[in-house]
Amino acid sequence: MGDDALTALETVRTRFREVNGEHPMTAADEAHVREHFTPLPPEQLPDIAAGRLPLPSYLLADGTPMVADLGDVIGAAGGVEHLHDWFVEFWPDDPTTVEAEWDTFMAGHHVCLRTVDPVSIRQVTRMVEQARAAVAVLRDDPRDELAQGSLGEAVDGGVGVTGLDGLVLPTTAYDRLRFGGPSIRDLWVDAVRAEFHRPQPPQLPIRTERLTLRRTLPEDAAVRAKAWADPGFVEYLLLPEQNLAEVTFDTFRRSGPDAPDEPHTGLGLMMVHEGTPIGNVVLFYDGADRTCLEIGWTLFPWAAGRGFATEAARVAMALAFEHYGVRRVVANLDAANERSAAMCERLGMRREAHKLADFWSKGRWTDSYEYAILREEWEAKRSDVQV
């Protein structure tokens, strides 16, 4: 490296420290930076030193400047000399905002973005405002369906829309120090999920007129194995027959406690009649926004025909809408499973789709039905549900 380049490099390092101050960077911080940013390309050094390109986003402990990839931005602008004029065109009617965003861009401070460009900057701003408005509503009414949908889109995205989780990077301890507080991801992804997208399981066991609904226990293995050895039981399930060892291991895993740091993503309940397990009913989330649950059930062959599955599913439906507060419950089943289809209809669900040969199961392409019910439909129909 020649003298001019060394001088330019030292100029860049000095300006970086003037703008960002001196803060410790941990080994985890450096690993994050090396994963998501690149060493300053030598050809960009003169433009950064002259203030024509943004300052580095980070300075590693060994003095290496690390930058975001601006190749597409520079190319789209038609070169470094046109960068400012190209950038401001994204805020044509808001000169105050655009100059503030330009200053942040030139300081190398858009470190939260996975891709640093004006479109991503504007998307993040919009999604933060969308999340902020939704949170304000949900703190007054946690079951407001429009706010639930809006918050889900802002955080996790939707069809054709990238949410904040896909737009912003994890935050380093170094960034919290230099910017003096939490990041966009801290506030509008992690904190929002903790407040609104971390449901808690219900109090168990639950007792109905004839059933006890509880977690699976290791001692349920023998009864479960008897069912899983029956070809008729597995006919419409995704898995084939299972032997005792397989079922015992599966039962062991199902009976374990939930991991304390993992989000609660669903509920599996064993149906017990007069002390004997007779089947399962499950709820699990369909989508990251936690506004829809999928319901499913299995009934052991010797308990069929007595309304037990419907009795348990009614409880699960009530949990979905009353405890979890979702707006919609769905059920997906093999179209040949006439009993389950009839049960969906007894529960007040409507068939929304008959999908032809849409999934591969046990050596064949299989049709499926999708049933669903909205919260307002369930509230209107629950007194009329047949058992």
1-31: pLDDT as tens digits: 565 667 889 999 999 999 999 999 999 999 9
Q: With H, G, I as helix, E, B as strand and everything else as coil, classify residue 64.
A: coil
Tell me how far apart the alpha carbons of residues 355 and 151 are, in angstroms, rounded to a whole number: 30
Tell me how far apart the alpha carbons of residues 356 and 351 are, in angstroms, rounded to a whole number: 14
pLDDT (mean) for 223-239: 95
292-335: pLDDT as tens digits: 999 999 999 999 999 999 999 999 999 999 999 999 999 999 99
For residue 1, the model assigns a pLDDT of 54
Give the chain's mean pLDDT.
Answer: 93
Yes or no: say if 201 and 221 are a contact pair by the CB < 8 Å rule.
no
Q: Read off the pTM.
A: 0.84
The answer to whether residue 284 scores a pLDDT higher than 50 is yes
pLDDT (mean) for 375-384: 82
Q: How far is CA 252 from CA 267, 273, 281, in A?
A: 16, 21, 18
CA neighbours closer than 13 Å in the CB half-sphere of residue 90: 21
Positive/negative CA dihedral, 371, 375, 380, 386 = positive
DSSP annotation of 282: E
pLDDT (mean) for 56-73: 96
Tell me how far apart the alpha carbons of residues 239 and 322 are, in angstroms, rounded to a whole number: 32
339-362: pLDDT as tens digits: 999 999 999 999 999 999 999 999
Q: How far is CA 247 from CA 228, 240, 272, in A?
A: 8, 12, 18
Tell me how far apart the alpha carbons of residues 231 and 220 are, in angstroms, rounded to a whole number: 20
Yes or no: say if 281 and 309 are a contact pair by the CB < 8 Å rule.
yes
22-57: pLDDT as tens digits: 999 999 999 999 999 999 999 999 999 999 999 999
The answer to whether residue 265 scores a pLDDT higher than 90 is no
Q: With H, G, I as helix, E, B as strand and everything else as coil, classify residue 384.
A: helix
Identify the band that residue 386 occupies on the pLDDT scale cut at 50, 70 and 90. very low
Tell me how far apart the alpha carbons of residues 385 and 186 are, in angstroms, rounded to a whole number: 44
Domain boundaries, the chain: 3-196, 206-384
Yes or no: say if 386 and 353 are a contact pair by the CB < 8 Å rule.
no
For residue 53, the model assigns a pLDDT of 96
Q: State what percent of residues in the chain have pLDDT above 70.
A: 97
Tell me how far apart the alpha carbons of residues 279 and 62 are, in angstroms, rounded to a whole number: 61
Q: With H, G, I as helix, E, B as strand and everything else as coil, classify residue 1.
A: coil
pLDDT (mean) for 154-173: 95
* Lookup: tokens for 249: 């291991």
Positive/negative CA dihedral, 309, 312, 318, 324 = negative
Fold of 206-384: Aminopeptidase (3.40.630)
Tell me how far apart the alpha carbons of residues 321 and 145 are, in angstroms, rounded to a whole number: 12
The answer to whether residue 387 scores a pLDDT higher than 60 is no
Q: How far is CA 376 from CA 41, 133, 381, in A?
A: 58, 24, 9
For residue 44, the model assigns a pLDDT of 94
Query: What is the identity of the amino acid at 271?
Result: M
pLDDT (mean) for 268-290: 92
Identify the band that residue 213 occupies on the pLDDT scale cut at 50, 70 and 90. very high
For residue 385, the model assigns a pLDDT of 43
Tell me how far apart the alpha carbons of residues 254 and 243 are, in angstroms, rounded to a whole number: 16
